[in-house]
Amino acid sequence: MSAFSLRQLLESLHDDLESRLATVRKAIGHPGSKGDASETVWVELLNTYLPARYQAASAHVVDSLGVFSDQIDIVVFDRQYTPFIFKMSGQAIVPAEGVYAVFEAKQTIDASLVRYAQEKVASVRRLYRTSLPIPFVEGTLKAKSLPHILGGIVALDSEWNPPLGEPLSKALEADSGDGRLDIGCVASFGSFARDEDGGYHSSKTNKPATSFLFELIARLQASATVPMIDVRAYAKWLIDPVDERIA
């Protein structure tokens, strides 16, 4: 008989995350530091359990037109096919084509923070993304259509009672455009996800962080691979306005 229990392994994943978030809330008084520490807990969870093709980090996102997103608490981006990720003063800057998902991380959610997360997500989705035809051994595949960038919010607690009830649904449904949220987790109570018909359902399992992680992985699998980035579109920013040709 095995010495392991799959149920206990999955439950322990959630218990560890919830315990670390609760410790951050109790031990750190400064709101900014508390927020940074909460982000770190979620980023470490994703980098530990997502497949190696993905990486998570606090970052800005930039497009080939030189437009930057807002600062995003958690960006899940491609680490296999995206040719460059900038690092400056401890902050990652990710090209828009390499982004799979973006999340805001908060200690507690309410209507204003859901709206804030929607604005952050929209600032990424509105960026321009290139997509080139893909060469392979037998020829060239047509350019990949741009995949939907997942957006969401993660937190420890909720200001609402019930935590995942009608007030949360109304806040989520307030933006069905560029800022719409697809998935989220309130670690003390449950997780939520957007259905194909545009509505939301919540899952009130006793281990919501694990449920959230599995749903995120399933949705990342469905989005396949990021498009082939046009590196020359970014390289244009290096060209001097004066076009000097070699004689």
Q: What amino acid positions are annotated as catalytic residues?
A: 73, 104, 106
Contact 167, 116 (CB under 8 A): no
The neighbouring-strand residues paired with 153 are 104, 184
Contact 82, 64 (CB under 8 A): no
The neighbouring-strand residues paired with 103 are 74, 152
Look up residue 151 and give its two tokens: 């957006």
Torsion of CA 164, 170, 172, 173, to 10 degrees: 140
Give the residue from 81, 101, 94 showing the smallest Cα distance to 213: 101
Concatenated DSSP letters of 91-112: EEEEEGGGEEEEEEEEEEE-HH
Q: Mutual orientation of helices 6-27 and 31-49 as an angle, nearest 10°?
A: 160
CA atoms within 13 A on the CB side of 179: 17
Bridging pattern class, strands 150-158 and 183-186: parallel
Contact 123, 151 (CB under 8 A): no
Contact 103, 43 (CB under 8 A): no
Alpha-carbon distance of 44 to 190, in angstroms, equals 20
